[in-house]
A and B are shown apart, each in its own frame.
Chain A
C-alpha cells in the first residue's frame, strides 16, 4: 500500500516537473535568517543535475572520451545548469520582493518607511520620545516584542524600573484611574501620576509628580 502523503508529494513533484511555473515561490524572512524552498523544487534540481550528468557522460563517451574525463565535463555542465535553474527560481522571488518594496517604500521618508514596518508601536515611541524630558522611562506592555521595539526607537532614552515617566502600551494588567491619578500594575501602585499624552485607549504616557 502507498503511503498517501508520500504519494501526494510524489504526484506534486511530478506535476511540477511537467510545468515549472507551478512550483511555489520560496518563502522567507530575513528576520530569522532563513529562506524556505519547497521540496518539489529541491527534487527538481537534484533530478536535473543527475539527468544532465548521465546524459552528458553518455554523450562524451560516445565521442570517445575516457570515462573520468566524460564525468568531469558532465559534472561541470550539471553544476552550471542546476545553478542556472536555481538562479532563475531564486531571482524570481528576489525581484518579486524588490517590486513589492518599491511599491511600498519608494518616495517615503525614513519615518514613513519605519511606520510601514512597525506601525503604531513606532508612532507611539516617537511621540513618547518627544514628550520625555529626561533620559529614563518605565515601559509596561504585555507583548515582549513590542517592548523591545519600543525600547529600540526610544534610544538613547533607557527603560528603567521606577522611573518618573511611565509608558503603557497595551498592557492587559495595567490600569490608570484618571480621577484619582493612580496607576496600578500588579502589586505596583503609583499615586500622583499625571497623564502626559494618550495615544489611544491602551497606549499612554504618565509622569509622576
Chain B
C-alpha cells in the first residue's frame, strides 16, 4: 500500500515542479490548485517517458523507469531554487473561515457544511470502492489491463515479439492502436507494488477524479462563490457512470480530466495569463496520449486558440509567449503518433472499419438517451436552456464552447454516418462513455452560463461580477 502511494506521489512532485515553473509569475493560483494540475500532468509525463524508454528498448524495470524521473525532479528542484520560484505558498482556508467565521449567516454556513460533507463522503466512497474491488469489467481487461499485465511481466512493450503479438496485439481482443497511457499507468503502479495487484494497480484512477473535483471547486468558487461552486460540484459528482469509471481502470475519466484542464487553461490564457498556454498544450498532448477520440477535441481547441490569437494580434499577445509554448508542448504526443503510424497500427478500435451509411435517425436516438437522464445529472438537459436564457454569449464562452460542441458533434456524426455501434448495447455504451469524456467540460460550461445569468440577474450586462456573489 505504501509503495502504491509512493507511485502516486512521485508524478505529483514532478508535475508540481513543472506547474510551479510555468506559473511562477501567476499570483492567483493557490497551492491546492497547483497540486490538482500537477497530478494528471505528472502522470502523463511519466507514461510518455516510459513509452519513450520502451521504444528505445530500455527494460521497464523500476529503477530504469524511476531514475530519470528522480533526476528530473532533482533538476527541476534546483532550477526552481536558482530562479527563486516560490513552491509552497501559504495555503488558504477560505472555506473553513467562511464556515467558522462571523461573516456569513447560519443558513449559508449549514449549507456549506452539508455540501462539503457530501463532496468529501462521495470522493472518499470512490476511493473506498477502488480499494475494495479488483478489476472486474470485461472491457477493462480487454482494452487496458491485459496489455498492462503483458508489458509489466515482459519488462517492455513486446516490440520484439512476432508480428501477431507485436505491441500486445491479440491479447484478449486488445486494440493495439489505443494509446498506451492507461496500460503504462498500471505498469508504473505494478513496478512499485512489485507485482500486478488487481486492486492497487488502479489506485491512480480516483486520484484523477479528486484532482478534477478540487480544481473545479477552486475555479468555480473564485469566479462566483463557494456556495454555488459546492452546489454544482455536488450535482456533478452524482453521475453514476463517472463514479463507476473512477474506480475501474477505464480511460474515460483521465481523458475527461485532460479535456477539462486543457479547456480551463485556454480560458486563463485568453485572460492574459501567459504560463497557461504551455499547460494547455501539455494537457492537450496528454489527452492525445490517452484515447483515440482526443484529436477531435484537440484540433477544434487549437483552431479556437488560433482564432483568438488572430483576433487579438497586436494587443500585447506575443507569439513567443502564446503560440510557441502551446505548439511546442504538443510535441509530447508526437512520439506516440509517429510510432502508431510507422507501425501501421491504425486508428480507433480494430473492429471499426470505414463503412459509410446514412442513419439520421441515430441523432434522435442520441437525444432520447440524453433525455433519459441515465448516467448523468441534469447538466445535459439544462445547458441548452441556460445558454438561451443567458443571452448573447461572450466571445470567451464561444471560444470555449465551440471545441466541446465540435467534439460532441463528431460522435453524433460517427453514429449517423457509419455502421458502427449498431447493436443497442454497444450503441448505448458508446454514447454514454463518449458523453462521459466531455461531461466535466459541459459542467464547467454550465457553470459559466450560471455565472453569466447571475451577472445579468439584476440587468447588469457585462463587467465584473457583483461583490455580493463573490467569496470574501
Contacts and interface: CB of A to CB of B under 8 A. Distances in A.
Interface SS of chain A: helix, strand, loop or mixed? helix
Interface in B143-195: 145-146, 149-150, 153-154, 165, 171-173
Interface of A: 26, 28, 30-37, 41-42, 45, 49, 68-69, 71-73, 75-76, 78-80, 82-84, 86-87, 90-91, 93-95, 97-98, 101-102, 105-106, 110, 113-114, 117, 145, 148-149, 151-152, 155-156, 158
Given A75-B385, A94-B243, A33 B133 contact: no
A52 B240 CA distance: 25
Given A98-B128, A106-B132, A145-B138, A33 B432 contact: yes
B150 A101 contact: no
Interface stretch (B98-106, B288-296, B370-378): B370-378
Contacts of A41: 373
Interface residues of B, number: 64
B225 to A, nearest CB: 14
B240 A28 contact: yes
B182 to A, nearest CB: 15
Contacts of A86: 235, 238, 373, 377-378
Given A73-B457, A82-B378, A148 B128 contact: no
B459 interface: yes
Contacts of B133: 101, 105, 113, 117
Interface of B: 122, 125, 128-129, 132-134, 136-139, 141-142, 145-146, 149-150, 153-154, 165, 171-173, 197-200, 231, 234-235, 238-241, 243-245, 248, 371-375, 377-379, 381-382, 385-386, 389-390, 425, 428-429, 432-433, 450, 453-454, 456-459
Contacts, number: 157
Contacts of A102: 128, 132
Contacts of A73: 457
B348 to A, nearest CB: 17
Given A90-B238, A94-B240, A148-B141, A35 B132 contact: no
Contacts of A110: 134, 197-200
